Chain A
Amino acid sequence: MCLAVPMKVLRVSGDRATAVMDGVEREIGTALVPDVVAGEYVIVHAGFAIQKLSEAEAQETLELFRRMAELGEAEPA
């Protein structure tokens, strides 16, 4: 029950929205992220958007992985 997945919001209507992940569309609740707009990515848990996802932070984290990986590979195995 605790799985949560990233979805892209397609349309918002009142406190519900239509969102899509990997081609699958479904209705989600937006009461916990009331300012969400079409085009934004959200994490969906138990049928509700619980937070918007930050593209900028995602890119920074991926960059951090690359730097950590370099640190790891620089050490003798």
Chain B
Amino acid sequence: MKDVPFVTAFRDPGPARGLIARIRDLARQTEQATFMEVCGTHTMSLYRHGIRALLPDNVRMLSGPGCPVCVTPHAYLDRAIALSREPGFVIATFGDMMRVPGSTSSLQQERARGADVRVVYSTLDAVDMARREAEREVVFLGVGFETTSPTVAAAVLSAEREGVRNFSVLSAAKLVGPALDVLVRDDRLRLHGFLCPGHVSVVLGTAVYEPLARDHGMPCVVAGFEALDVLQGLVMLLEQHVAGQARVENAYRRAVVAEGNPVARGLLDRVFEPMDTAWRGLGILPGSGLRLRAAFRAHDAERFEVEVEPTREPPGCACGDILRGIISPFECKLFGKVCTPDSPHGACMVSSEGTCAAAFRYGRE
């Protein structure tokens, strides 16, 4: 295998065997250990590397609400769809959003009907597009957590600086902290620790998890996404659990420093301010979303007045309970029957990091 720096060494099967043996040994020292992987990329990693299947029966992993596409509510999609129907508007979005069902349509369906919906790899592409096509109104769908939102902030500042007036953001930016706070208080989950998201922590650092450890006795380990990273994170969670400890540890030291990325947080704070926002599955959480500050109103797509259809949730969809870790995808009546990656009913089946998509592709009941 070709050596890719910072990747290949973290997939080495040699140490993996030892780490799994260590997990099994620690598991024998406890009755039950239930951890939640908060981040959708961890969900994918646990399935893709076959780690779920290697875990002892008494070590259970629950998937959390850490897929930003999956927690974006219907009403947001409906507004994006309404904007896409306006003449002269271009919707620029990350690819995952294309097939997410709104109340009666999706961006992909709108594009088939003639709407100008374009997939971009980065917010820079969207600003460049707006600069090139000054006669169009480019609306970027700002979906994401603290990893992605600084890139949206950087794009807004860049558009502001360069006078690109036809670039705006429809913000659905969300903050991880308030969601973890809700989950840690949910008695139904009986959690023993959080496998904390590596790339959110690149920006936030480790302090954001301290209240979970200090006030709720919850072990928290920040982990990377390669097989060995995830296994090491699980070893460290089990070690804390078995020893009856609760602290914040960092298993992703090559990328995460305690203070995070202050430049990225500075950009976030300059462009955005906190607001109450709705999460699919969790409801409205105070201070858990970000909207553009008034100074950037010229780049805020909320300023466009469009008629948005009334919100309708798909009947039978259990995304809400799945996002809270209360039920597994296999317990949803729609899963694998009428809801599949080709024809998703809920957002958890759409995104490549969605819990249902991962379970459908790799999972066994």
For the complex, what is the distance from the CA of A46 to the CA of B251, rounded to whole Å?
23
Interface size, chain B (Cβ < 8 Å): 62
Taking CB atoms, residues of chain B closer than 8 Å to A68 are 15, 18-19, 22, 232, 235
Question: Closest Cβ of chain B: how far from A57's Cβ, in Å?
Answer: 4
For the complex, what is the distance from the CA of A53 to the CA of B4, rounded to whole Å?
13
A66 and B151 form a contact (CB under 8 A): no
Taking CB atoms, residues of chain A closer than 8 Å to B123 are 29, 46-48
A-B contact count (CB 8 A): 165
A57/B254 contact (C-beta < 8 A), A22-B4, A69-B14 known: yes
Question: Closest Cβ of chain A: how far from B36's Cβ, in Å?
Answer: 17
How many residues of A sit at the interface, in one of the four size bands? 35 or more
B25 and A32 form a contact (CB under 8 A): no
- B219 interfacial by beta-carbon distance below 8 Å: no
Q: Considering only CB atoms, which chain A residue lies closest to B151 in the complex?
A: A48
Question: Closest Cβ of chain A: how far from B120's Cβ, in Å?
Answer: 8
Residues 33-57 of A contacting B (Cβ, < 8 Å): 33-34, 41, 43, 45-48, 50-51, 53-55, 57
- B339 interfacial by beta-carbon distance below 8 Å: no
A1 and B232 form a contact (CB under 8 A): no
For the complex, what is the distance from the CA of A50 to the CA of B204, rounded to whole Å?
11
- B193 interfacial by beta-carbon distance below 8 Å: no
Taking CB atoms, residues of chain A closer than 8 Å to B2 are 22
A6 and B151 form a contact (CB under 8 A): no
Taking CB atoms, residues of chain A closer than 8 Å to B12 are 65
- B351 interfacial by beta-carbon distance below 8 Å: yes
For the complex, what is the distance from the CA of A61 to the CA of B94, rounded to whole Å?
33
A75 and B25 form a contact (CB under 8 A): yes
